[in-house]
Amino acid sequence: MSRRQYIAANWKMNKTAAEADEFLDAFLPTQDGEGPEVVLCPTYLALHRVAERCSGTPVKVAAQNMYFEDSGAYTGEISAPMLLDIGVDGVILGHSERRQHFGETDEALARKVRRAIEAGLEPIVCCGETEAERESGDTDAVLSHQVITDLAEIHTDDLDKVVIAYEPIWAIGTGKVATPEQAQETIHFIRNLLRPRDPEAAERVRILYGGSVKPGNAAELLALPDIDGALVGGAALDPEDFGGIVAASAGS
Residues at the interface with ligand PEP (CB under 6 A)? 10, 12, 167, 172-173, 210-213, 231-235
Residue number, 24 or 126, with CB nearest to ligand PEP? 126
Of 203, 208, 234, 239, which is closest to residue 221 (Cα–Cα)?
Answer: 208
Residue number, 42 or 234, with CB nearest to ligand PEP? 234
As to burial, measured by CB atoms within 10 angstroms (0-12 exposed, 13-18 middle, 19+ buried), residue 8 is: buried
Task: Assess contact for 167 and 126: CB atoms under 8 A.
Answer: yes
CB of 103 to ligand PEP, least distance (A): 18
Q: Residue 5 and residue 230: Cα distance in Å, rounded?
A: 8
Q: 34 catalytic, yes or no?
A: no
Residue 230: half-sphere exposure toward Cβ, Cα within 13 Å: 36
CB of 126 to ligand PEP, least distance (A): 7
CB of 219 to ligand PEP, least distance (A): 16
Could you say which of 95, 97, 104, 129 is catalytic? 95
Q: 145 catalytic, yes or no?
A: no
Residue number, 137 or 165, with CB nearest to ligand PEP? 165
Could you say which of 97, 129, 133, 167 is catalytic? 167
**Which amino acid type is present at position 5?**
Q
Spacing of C-alpha 230 from chain mean position? 8
CB of 250 to ligand PEP, least distance (A): 20
Output the CA–CA distances (angstroms, integers) from residue 211 to 56, 75, 86, 141, 167, in the order listed.
30, 31, 29, 20, 6
CB of 17 to ligand PEP, least distance (A): 20
Q: Residue 60 and residue 72: Cα distance in Å, rounded?
A: 28
Task: Please list, residue by residue across 48-65, b when 16 or more beta carbons sit within 10 angstroms of its beta carbon and e when fewer do.
Answer: bbbbebbeebebbbbbbb
How many C-beta atoms lie closer than 10 Å to residue 207's C-beta?
Answer: 25
Residue number, 172 or 227, with CB nearest to ligand PEP? 172
Helix (H, G, I), strand (E, B) or coil at 77: coil
Residue number, 95 or 112, with CB nearest to ligand PEP? 95
Q: Which residue is nearest to ligand PEP (CB)?
A: 233
Please list the active-site residues.
95, 167
